[in-house]
Amino acid sequence: MFLIPRVKAVEATEKLLTYPDFLRVRYDGKVAFVAGLISGIGYLGFTGAQVLAGAKLMSGSVMPAAPFGLDPLQTSLWVIGTIIILYTALGGLKAVIYTDTAQWIVLLTGLIFFAIPFSLSRIGGFAALRAAVPAGHFSLFNLEPVRFANWMVTIIPIWVIGMTLYQRIYACRGEKEAKKAWFIAGLFEYPVMAFTGVFLGVCARALFHDVEAEMAIPKLLTVVLPAGITGIVVAAYFSAIMSTADSCLMASSGNLVNDVVERWRGKRLAMHTSIRLSQAGTFAIGIAAIALASGFTSVLNGILNAYAFMVGGLFVPTLGAYFWEGRSSAGALAGMFAGGGLTLYLTLSGAATPFGLDAAFWGILCSAAVFVPVSRLIPDPGASSLRTESFP
């Protein structure tokens, strides 16, 4: 909420479409180009994780056996991925907005009015649920400090650098509307969705002890609910997954077209050409996301790794763009390469990190350790609090 006025103030005088556009104004085109690459790759991984989530739900509920002897999970990957690609590529951001709204309505209705009551009824009530799971499952503090720190350092910074968030700020008419939208979204996402999802997970844990964690809720839906209700609730979960996946796919495509291709060419494309390129990019990135998802085993790990890569490279330079007039483009580039590179190395190599802290933590620390001194040593010529760059 406190960043919205700053973003809208810049947008009032600059034509902004993407998150790297904001960095272009505060730094320069090179910084925005690298940020576009990091953000685009990160959202590609995030899209893949969401497609895998949808595939696990489909293969665990509506498609336990695929036709022609095909693997149910791999078949589900291509079915879910193709649907998301088609309506995102053909409809663009407006289609994403309309479908997200409808999907949220279906989701909340299905989970609150059907999934939770039927699950509790099958278990035998809330008292039976408490007796069926360890006591710590109902404690907000049943979490190791290191894991809590890792989740915080990976998840919270994404709200500062998330391309999908900037797109929605730009889409709002003004600061007041943007703040209202953010408040409503935050209310639904955290108190409502977070506790609803966790509660259903606890119900699944009470009924099924030997099921893979990410397949427990699909099994819960198919076993506990009547056939007709199962369809409604499964549709609700598909809605949640597709709502996130289409936004991430749109973000990655926007980074590719606006922040990489157009900037590499050095001039804006004609509107018709830009739309066609964006559609082609959405198709290509969607296919890549499906291929990437086929190699994932865990949805959560896929999401956290994508977050970590983006956060490690982009968080510190973005904070500098908001709050530090001593920043420089050279410092931002150095911080991105240092933080993003270290995070990527630690993630891919599987190397043990000190104190068990996530790779994103050390990436952020490394980025800050490089960003500040390089900004001091190599200031921007004629630096000012706002920098603009136009196409030649």
pLDDT value for 37: 92
**What are the tens digits of pLDDT across the range 264-292?**
776 666 777 777 888 888 899 999 999 99
| Inter-residue contact 222 to 61 (CB < 8 Å) | yes
Q: Please compute Rg for the chain using Cα positions.
A: 22
DSSP 8-state assignment for residue 93: H
pLDDT value for 96: 64
User: Which pair of tokens denotes residue 2?
Assistant: 């406190």
Higher local confidence (pLDDT), 140 or 123? 123
- What angle separates helix 329-349 from helix 359-377, to the nearest 10 degrees? 160
Quickly state the pLDDT bin for 93 (edges 50, 70, 90): low
Q: Is the pLDDT at 386 greater than 50, yes or no?
A: no
Which of 38-47, 189-198, 303-312, 331-340 bottoms out in mean pLDDT, i.e. has the lowest?
189-198
pLDDT value for 382: 66
- Exposure string of 27-39, with b = 16+ CB inside 10 Å and e = fewer, is bbbebbbbbbbbb
Give percent above pLDDT 70 in the chain: 94
**What are the tens digits of pLDDT across the range 2-19?**
788 888 888 878 878 889
Which of 40-44, 70-74, 333-337, 367-371 bottoms out in mean pLDDT, i.e. has the lowest?
70-74
| Inter-residue contact 33 to 263 (CB < 8 Å) | yes
- Exposure string of 152-173, with b = 16+ CB inside 10 Å and e = fewer, is ebbeebbebbbbbbbbbbbebe
DSSP 8-state assignment for residue 2: T
What is the C-alpha separation between 355 and 150, in angstroms, rounded? 11
pLDDT value for 388: 44
SS3 sequence of 121-148: HHHCCHHHHHHHCCHHHHCCCCCCHHHH
Q: What are the residues whose beta carbons fall under 8 Å from the beta carbon of 25, sequence distance 6 or more? A: 10, 14, 16, 386, 387, 388, 389
Which of 17-31, 231-245, 365-379 bottoms out in mean pLDDT, i.e. has the lowest?
231-245
Which of 110-114, 252-256, 379-383 bottoms out in mean pLDDT, i.e. has the lowest?
379-383
DSSP 8-state assignment for residue 226: -
pLDDT (average), residues 123-141: 89
- What angle separates helix 359-377 from helix 299-323, to the nearest 10 degrees? 20
What is the C-alpha separation between 51 and 49, in angstroms, rounded? 5
Q: Is the pLDDT at 95 greater than 50, yes or no?
A: yes
What is the C-alpha separation between 118 and 226, in angstroms, rounded? 9
Q: Is the pLDDT at 387 greater than 60, yes or no?
A: no
* Phi, psi for residue 294 in degrees, rounded to 5: -65, -20
Q: Is the pLDDT at 361 greater than 90, yes or no?
A: yes
pLDDT value for 123: 92
First to last CA, the chain: 35
What is the C-alpha separation between 310 and 37, in angstroms, rounded? 10
pLDDT value for 390: 38
What is the C-alpha separation between 5 and 182, in angstroms, rounded? 12
pLDDT value for 392: 32
